[in-house]
Amino acid sequence: MTAEPADFFGIKDRGRLKKGLAADVVVFDPARVNSPTRGTLVHDLPAGGARLYAKAEGVTKVIVNGQVMFDQGRHTGALPGHVLRSA
């Protein structure tokens, strides 16, 4: 499900769980995953760009580059990621 878009955008070594790769994973409870709001437009991107933000429920962990960034809705202090650019 994630390998196809990574390949399409030319992002190497992403979208797969395989030894030696980045290991970006979102762990969620399928019975609880939900967005309790419709979303809010926020202007927090460079040059005032906008994005739609909606808080998620049921997400238990977010792992980036093999390090847990969020655990039970709380940031762990880890900052292992970086901006990816397509080829």
For 10-56, write each residue's pLDDT tens digit.
888 888 988 888 878 999 999 988 877 788 999 999 898 999 998 88
How far apart CA 45 and CA 7 sit, in angstroms, is 25
Tens of pLDDT, residue by residue over 44-59, are 998 989 999 988 889 9
Report the sign of the C-alpha dihedral through residues 14, 20, 22, 25, in that order.
positive
For the chain, the domains span: 22-75
**Do the beta carbons of residue 58 and residue 28 sit within 8 Å?**
yes
The answer, as to whether pTM is greater than 0.85, is no
